[in-house]
Amino acid sequence: MDFNQVPIGFGLAMSGNTAAMTRYAHLSEAQKQAVLNRAQQVRSEKEMYALVASLANGTML
């Protein structure tokens, strides 16, 4: 994960979710960018954790 591009809240939420981190690591560069674009639209902590959980369980992409 390139932390220069990652929203702080996304990085924090990801750091507590190994399943999401693993899934993110296996995404293509285009998919990673799509995830980051979506994370930049999040407006609350609860929404960010929900986004990361959806990444972990495979429902995001």
Tell me if 2 is assigned to some domain: no
Tell me if 37 is assigned to some domain: yes
Residue 56's closest CA among 33, 48, 5? 48
Contact yes or no for 38/51 (Cβ under 8 A): yes
- For residue 3, pLDDT over 70 is answered with no
- For residue 8, pLDDT over 80 is answered with yes
Indicate the number of domains in the chain. 1
Which residues constitute the domain of residue 41? Answer: 8-56
Tell me if 61 is assigned to some domain: no
Q: What is the pLDDT of residue 12?
A: 94
Q: Is 42 left (phi over 0), alpha (psi -120 to 50) or beta?
A: beta
The model's pTM is 0.85
Could you read off the pLDDT of 16-61 as tens digits, one per residue?
Answer: 999 999 999 999 999 999 999 999 999 999 999 999 999 999 998 6
- For residue 1, pLDDT over 60 is answered with no
Helix orientation angle between 18-25 and 8-15, rounded to the nearest 10 degrees? 110
